[in-house]
Amino acid sequence: MNTQAAMSVAAPPLQVEAFAHVDHWVFDLDNTLYSHESRVWPQVNQRITLFLQELFGLDGLSAQALRGYYYHRYGTTLNGLMLEHDVKPDDFLDFAHDIDLSLLEPDPALGAAIAALRGRKLILTNGSVGHARNVAGKLGILEHFEDVFDIVAAGFTPKPERSTYELFLAKHSVDPGRAAMFEDIEKNLIVPSALGMKTVLIIPQTPDPFREAWEQAAIEAGHVHHVTSNLTGFLTPLARA
């Protein structure tokens, strides 16, 4: 399924009652809490590519190919570098997230929708806690979240590994039967759904040229309970309820 066609798939209408039991709201960060027009994630990818270039003495194309290899085999480039080359995670994370957030604008409507949700709100990301706080802070929504569970807290094992979610649930005393997960990558919702969480897949309103088609497709699957390209619009009726 190509990206444009995938984005045209009609999601079932939101049934507010389906979230009546939810009082734990869990959000991915990148490409979930902001749109790709802010150019945050492309910069992270560029920094990762540059890290590989400098580490291995590669040209740009070779470094991009290596980044893709690590991502598909290990879930993140960092995981591959740690397992294959014993790279220090702090050095990588600091380098990868040293980006310009000037195009990321505050989103008061999203902040209001998150603030109005009944219960606890948490961020679960494969990035670093520093990156999450910088991004959420620039969006003006950081104050609405109780905490950030990052790749360090996960023992550098990324989503979609089951152990990452189990560590998150245990650390923050989250009952998955009372939780909802918002995520931009479909495979990262398989485990949350199996654990009993409501799942919401976030897709871009327009195709993102810096991401692969499968990463932004509106997948129809049993573990994807809802699909939306407008997170604020999706949350608003839930908050009102």
Sheet holding 198-202, edge to edge: 147-149, 120-124, 24-27, 179-183, 198-202, 226-228
* CATH of the domain spanning 3-37+104-240: 3.40.50.1000
Q: Which residues of the chain have pLDDT under 50?
A: 1-11
Residue 219, pLDDT score: 83
Q: Where are the domains of the chain?
A: 3-37+104-240, 40-96
Closest CA to 142 of 164, 110, 167, 179: 110
Global pTM exceeds 0.85: yes
User: From CA 111, how far away is CA 115, in angstroms rounded?
Assistant: 6
Q: What is the pLDDT of residues 78-123, one digit of tens each?
A: 999 999 999 999 999 999 999 999 999 999 999 999 999 999 999 9
The CATH fold of domain 40-96: DNA polymerase; domain 1 (1.10.150)
Rounded-to-integer distance, Cα 216 and Cα 3, Å: 7
Per-residue pLDDT, 2: 40
Round the CA-based radius of gyration of the chain to a whole number and report it: 17
